[in-house]
Every structure is written in C-alpha cells, then in structure tokens.
C-alpha cells in the first residue's frame, strides 16, 4: 500500500508540452503588438528630432535671412559655409553634430525657398515604402 501512496515528483512530458504550447501562443499574440509599438516609438522620436532641427533651421533663417541651400544641408548648421553670404552667422554653431534618425541614417534636407522639408527614409533606409518602412516627412509630423 505504501507504493500506491507515493507522491509524484515533477511533471510529465505531456504537461510540459502543453505549457510550452500555451506560452508559444501567448508570444505569438503579444510579440507583434510589441514590435508595432517599438516601430511607432521610433517614428515618434524621428518627428521629435525633426521638430528640433526645424527650430534650429528657423534660428538660422532668423539670423541670416534665408534657410541654408539644399547643397549646404545640415553642414551649414555646423559651421558657416560662406561668411560673405551669411555675415550674421552665430559665434556658436546651430548644431554640434550631424543629425541621424532612429535607424542611424542621416536626415535629408531640402530647401524650398521660404520653407524646407526634412525626410527620414525610416526602417528600410530607402525612398518610399509602406507601413513601418514609409518615409517620414517633417511636413506630416505635426498633423
């Protein structure tokens, strides 16, 4: 009778497999949502960086009467590209380093006269794309 009263020690293989299947199902349901949240956070961070760059470009324009030329790009915010063209350039640069997006890719700057556009090619680092690979435009960040 003592042999029948022995306590079981541990789990059976089937019990372990059931737990693993349940955990796998939970991961399959939760993981995509976490990935989407991470992508959205990166896109939001890019818009914040673009807003900061926009303010620095506005300061440049306020001091110099115009935005930097497209060819001058963000380098014009690091040091004065042409002292004759920009005689009111500040003693300290508008930026300390060239800006990069959340995917460590440089932003694209385009001068449009009295306006400018900033572009991040997003996760795929290529022009165009859809969903999380869709380009991020400064002009669309505040909408």
- pLDDT 10s digit of each residue in the chain, 143 long? 455 555 566 778 888 888 888 888 887 777 666 666 777 888 899 999 999 999 999 999 999 999 999 999 999 999 999 999 999 999 999 999 999 999 999 999 999 999 999 999 988 888 887 877 889 999 998 76
d(CA 141, CA 84): 34
* Helix, strand or coil, per DSSP, at residue 127: coil
Query: CB neighbours of 19 closer than 8 A, spacing ≥ 6?
Result: 11
Place of tokens 């795929």: 124
Q: Of 62, 49, 55, nearest to 90 (Cα)?
A: 62
**For residues 61-94, b (16+ Cβ closer than 10 Å) or e, as one string?**
eeebeebbeeebbbebbeebbeeeebeebeeebb
Cα–Cα distances in angstroms (integers) from residue 119 to residues 73, 109, 112, 127, in the given order:
12, 7, 13, 9
Q: Which residues pair with 119 in a beta bridge?
A: 108, 137
């Amino acid at each position: 009778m003592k042999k029948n009263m022995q306590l079981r020690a541990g789990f059976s293989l089937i019990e372990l497999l059931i737990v693993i299947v349940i955990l796998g199902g939970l991961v399959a349901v939760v993981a995509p949502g976490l990935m989407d949240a991470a992508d959205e956070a990166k896109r939001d961070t890019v818009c914040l960086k673009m807003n900061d760059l926009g303010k620095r470009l506005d300061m440049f324009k306020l001091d110099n009467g115009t935005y930097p030329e497209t060819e001058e790009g963000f380098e014009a915010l690091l040091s004065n590209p042409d002292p004759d063209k920009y005689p009111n350039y500040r003693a300290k640069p508008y930026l300390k380093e060239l800006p990069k997006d959340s995917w460590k890719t440089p932003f694209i700057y385009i001068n449009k006269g009295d306006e400018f556009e900033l572009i991040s090619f997003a996760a795929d680092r290529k022009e165009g794309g859809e969903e999380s690979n869709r380009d991020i435009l400064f002009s669309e960040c505040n909408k």
